[in-house]
Amino acid sequence: MFRRRAVDDTINQHIASKGPVMESTVTLLSVVIPARNEERCIASTVKHLHVELHLHGIPHEIIVVDDASTDATVATLEAIGPEMSELVIVKNRGPHGFGRAIRCGIDQMKGDAVVIMMADESDDCRDVVHYWTLLQEGYECVFGSRFLRGGGTIDYPRLKLVLNRLANFFVRVLFAFKLNDTTNAFKAYRKSVIDGCQPLISPHFNITVELPLKAITRGYSWISVPITWRNRRAGKSKLRLKEMGSRYLFICLYVLLEKWLSRGDYRKNRTFTA
C-alpha cells in the first residue's frame, strides 16, 4: 500500500517531459529479453512475466533473444515453448553483444510498443503492467527509475551503485533533464519512438543510454516512474564496467552533438527546409 501511494505521488508530481500525447491505444505489447547463458533464470523470468500480463488481460508477446549462449538457455526455452504460445525464441546469429541482441529482438517485434527487460529476474513484472497503463494513457516512453521515491534496489553491489549514481549525474548535467536513471535498461517505448530513433548503433550495454537520450532529444513525450530492482540470484552479470566507460561516453557525446548541431532535423514531426 505504501509503495503504491508513493508511486502515485511521484506521478502526480509529473516527473515528465510534457503531458501525454494522445495517440492510438496500444493493442499488443512486445517484451524483448536478451539472454546469454541464463539457463538458471530464464524459465522463471518468462513464466512470471507471462502470468502477470495474462492476469491483467494484456495482449503480449515475449521475445527472448539468445545471444550465443553456451549453456542450456535455448533448450530451457524450447521446453516451455509448447505451453506458451506468446513466447518467441530468436537467435542472434552474430555479431553478438547486448545492444545487438536488443536490436535483433526489436526487428522481430509485432507489437506497437516494446518493453526491454533483463533475463535475470532483476526487473519486477508488476512494473511492466504499470508501463502498459501509462502507454495507454498516451505517453510515448516510460522510463523506470530505481532512485525515485517509491522505487528501490535490493542487494545492489556497492561499487556498482556508486558508479551508477556518478554516471547518471554526469548524464543529467550534460543534457539538463530530470531523468535520474538513464542507464537502466528497463524502459518502455511505443514503436513509433523506436522507428524515430533509428539508426541504433550501440553494440553493447550502451544501448540503454542511446535509446532514452535519442527519444528525449528527438522530442518524444516521456515520464519517469519508480520501479524496484533486485540483484540477480543466479548466474553471472554480463556487464563489464571497465569496458563500458568509453562506450557510454561515446554515445552521450554522439547524441549531444545531434542536439547541438542538427538544428532539430531529427526531431519528431520536423521536416527539413533549406
Closest CA to 17 of 263, 264, 218: 218
- Residue 11 confidence class, pLDDT cut points 50, 70, 90: very low
User: Over 90: is that where the pLDDT of 2 sits?
Assistant: no
User: Whole-number mean pLDDT of the chain?
Assistant: 88
pLDDT tens-digit readout, 68-86 = 999 999 999 999 999 999 9
Q: With the CA atoms of 256, 260, 261 and 262 taken in that order, what torsion angle do they form, in degrees rounded to the nearest 10?
A: 80
What ranges do the domains of the chain cover?
2-16+25-259
CA 195 to chain centre: 15
154: which strand partners?
230
pTM, entire model:
0.88
- Residue 221 cell numbers, joined: 513525450
Average pLDDT value for residue range 35-61: 96
Closest CA to 62 of 100, 115, 99, 112: 115
User: Over 60: is that where the pLDDT of 116 sits?
Assistant: yes
- Residue 273 confidence class, pLDDT cut points 50, 70, 90: very low
Average pLDDT value for residue range 54-60: 97
Place domain 2-16+25-259 in its CATH homologous superfamily: Spore Coat Polysaccharide Biosynthesis Protein SpsA; Chain A (3.90.550.10)
What's the pLDDT at 10? 42
